[in-house]
Each structure stands twice: as C-alpha cells, then as structure tokens.
Amino acid sequence: MKKFAVIGLGRFGQKLAIALAMSGAEVIAIDKNRDEIELIRDQVSLAVRLDSTDEEALKAQGVHKVDVAIIGIGQGHGQGFESAVLTVVNLKQMGVKQIYTRAESLLAGEVFAKVGATEVIYPEIESAQRWAYKLIAPQIGEKIDFAPGYSLARIKAPASFDGKTVMDLQLRQSYNVNLVAIKRGEDTKIKKNVEEIVNVPMPNTVINQGDILMVAGSDADLANLPQE
C-alpha cells in the first residue's frame, strides 16, 4: 500500500487527502491550522498540526518515509508561497522521491520545479481548460490525455452513426480519429444480443445509436466529431 503525505488542507488538499484515503491509501494530512486538522481527522490515517517548513517536525511524523508527498499550501500571499517552496526543499532533502506541488501560476510552477518538485499541478488552469473543452465539444465524455493535445476519449454514438459499419463511417478519413473499442449501449445489447465489448472493431462491425465509442486523436479533431 502506498503511503501519502498531503500538506496544506485547503479545498484542494482536503479533497485530495480524503479521496486517497477512501481508495485505501495510508494518508498523513498536515496543516498549520487546527480547524482544518479537526475537519479531516477521522477520515485519514493521521492528521497532524505542524509547520511543514520545519524539517525535524516532518521527520517526527514519518513524512520522510512516504512514497508520495503532495503540497497544496495556498499561495495567495507571499508567506504561503515561501512556505510551499521551503516545504519542497525539505521533502527533497529528506529523500521523498515523488513530490507534487499545487501552483497558482506558471511562474510559481517553474520555481517549484527548479527546487525539486517532481511534478507541478495547476488545478485552476487545468479546470478552466477542461471546462472550455467541455463547452466546445459537449459530445465528448471522459477523456484521457496521453500527449500534449492528444487524447483517448469516450463518446456516445450519435443518431447519424446508427446502423452504419465502421467502413461506412470512415472515421479516420472523415475526422482524422481512430476507433479503438466499442461498448454496446443497453438497447443494442437487449435488442440484438451482441457482445458487450468489441475490443477490435472490424470494417463490417455495425455501430448503433447509444453505443459508447473509445476514439483517439488530437483534441481539435475529437471536437469536430458530430453531436447528432
């Protein structure tokens, strides 16, 4: 079981710590604010009030033994940013191999990376980008980014796809995307008695309205897939 330390229990840190704990991970939750500790105490393995810029205090709670540390300290004022930077430095010196840091700006992220953060998280920026894409391409469900600008996405087959074969649709030629797999919709399974998952769609595989299609391509091309 992986052991995590979540340092800074604002909205981001608190939700992350609880989500990790609910997934069965061992979580040490840390904040300087007693009220934040009391809110989360019963939902994680250990919740402790301390100053994360104090390396000895971190070691006393076993933070040097965690697999992953995530810093969610708010940076709305200078002291918060300074505390986050010093915390990254402490964790790096203690030998924590994976250090993730929340940043509120690209400049802050560059500083965190230079002092030792393994990866920088930009919740506000990433959330805005996700919402922008969701508004532009509402037909796209969940998507997994596998390279900058390229994703594996989940879409529900629109009415215009109903009854057509993979060859008829010509997804690669028409939309520049690749069909990876098909999960049959409930109506298709009930009415046509077909297999639920088609791992390797063939040219003669028929797609029905409501089927779930896993498609891969650039975000721009995925956004051009039909909605109706």
pLDDT of residue 129: 72
The CATH number covering residue 155 comes to: 3.30.70.1450
Q: Within a domain: residue 159? A: yes
If you average pLDDT over residues 91-111, what whole number do you get? Answer: 94
| Residue 129 falls inside a structural domain | no
Q: Would residue 165 count as lying in a domain?
A: yes
pLDDT of residue 77: 63
52 and 23 share one domain: yes
Strands (E), 10-139: 26-31, 46-49, 68-71, 98-102, 119-121
**3-state class of 224 per DSSP?**
coil
Last residue of one domain, picked from the residues 123, 154, 171:
123
Among candidate residues 60, 92, 123, the one where a domain is terminated: 123
Average pLDDT over residues 52-65: 96
**Which residues lie below 8 Å from residue 168, measured CB to CB, with a gap of 6+?**
none
pLDDT at 17: 94
Residues 121-159 pLDDT 10s: 998 887 877 777 777 777 787 778 877 788 898 999 999
Tell me the pLDDT band of 162, cut-offs 50, 70 and 90: very high
Confidence tier at 87 by pLDDT (50, 70, 90) = very high
Domains contained in the chain, number: 2
Q: What pLDDT score does 185 carry?
A: 81
Together in a domain, 54 and 165: no
- The residue range of the domain holding 87 is 3-123
Is 42 within a domain? Answer: yes
